[in-house]
Structure 1
Amino acid sequence: MARVYATAAQYEAFTGSPPPADVETRLRRASAFLDSRVFRLCVYAVDEDGLPADARVAQAFADAACAQVEWGVDVGDVTGAAGVGWGSVEIGSAKLSRSVTATSGDEAPGRQIAPAVWDALRSPDLTPDLLVVGAVSTC
């Protein structure tokens, strides 16, 4: 079962704006994205559901998920599809081109980690005994 780190109410509190109609889907996708790109590289205590056991870490993860959703809304790309499929674009005298076959969605704005995610995870309240970001270890 996929972990979801934030609720619609937390999104509204974080952004100060009403959530989009599909906010639960967006929060689920943002949580999975952050799990694969950020949280899996962190060390923190978990509860029986695999969620952060400490309330401060849980809040930071909720803020990070909300920030990721807000980023997608702000950049106009909530799925990463905006970076796929164009070979060349011209707007006035500006011309951009790239290989369509070499382009995945990973370069799209919607597939970037929102800067506010790092702000949430670098809070001074998250001491190394609670959360270590970017930890890599071997057993």
Structure 2
Amino acid sequence: MARQPYATPEQLATWLGTPAPAGAERLLARAGEDIDSALLTAVYRVDEDGDPIEPRVVAALGDATCAQVEHWLATGDDGTGAGGVWDSVSIGPVSLSGRSRTPAAASGVELAPRADRALRRAGLTPGRVIAW
């Protein structure tokens, strides 16, 4: 079976306090991929499909996913990572100016501050290796 998304368009609408934007499912799926990348070393219980089962983890992943989409909407990004990379761009004869944001973290993903905090509060990041 396929894994469930961490948040639904209805949850996103509640988080934003406005109706969910067009393409909410796509944005939530992309945000979920970013959350997964940030959790590569996280340890938490899952069911046979890989979905989290502990209510606090389910809530944290939903909050982090909604926060990631909220950040993209506020910054004009669409989840591709292409939005807002340069503060000035010219095409002929090519001129790129300073970066308007910092490079992605070591996970390869730039998490929104609120998304990062939701994962940290739940004890999901930073990850650590546990010897058994």
Give the TM interval when normalised to the shorter protein.
Answer: 0.7 to 0.9
For residues 103-118 of structure 1, the aligned pairs below 5 Å read 107=103, 112-118=110-116
Cα shift readout 1:88-117 (whole Å, capped 9, x = no counterpart): 648xxxx9626xxxx9xx948xx6210001
Cα shift readout 1:4-58 (whole Å, capped 9, x = no counterpart): 211011111111111111000000011011111x122211111122111101110
Taking only aligned residues, the RMSD between alpha carbons, in angstroms, comes to 3.0
For residues 45-56 of structure 1, the aligned pairs below 5 Å read 45-56=45-56
C-alpha separation in 1, matches of 2:74 and 2:129: 35
> What's the counterpart of residue 4 of structure 1?
5
Whether the 8 Å contact between 1:3 and 1:28 is mirrored in structure 2 is no
Cα shift readout 1:66-102 (whole Å, capped 9, x = no counterpart): 0001111100012211356x6x648xxxx9626xxxx
Whether the 8 Å contact between 2:3 and 2:50 is mirrored in structure 1 is no
Is the deviation greater in 14-23 or in 39-48? Answer: 39-48
The alpha-carbon distance between structure 1 residues 20 and 44, as it changes in their structure 2 partners (threshold 3 A), is same
Count of residues paired in the alignment: 119
The TM-score, its normalising length taken from structure 1, stands at 0.70
Whether the 8 Å contact between 1:83 and 1:107 is mirrored in structure 2 is no
One-letter amino acid of the structure 1 residue matched with residue 115 of structure 2? V
C-alpha separation in 2, matches of 1:52 and 1:73: 26
C-alpha separation in 1, matches of 2:112 and 2:118: 10
Whether the 8 Å contact between 1:67 and 1:114 is mirrored in structure 2 is yes
Long gaps (5+) in structure 2: none
The TM-score, its normalising length taken from structure 2, stands at 0.74
Question: Percentage identity across aligned positions?
Answer: 42
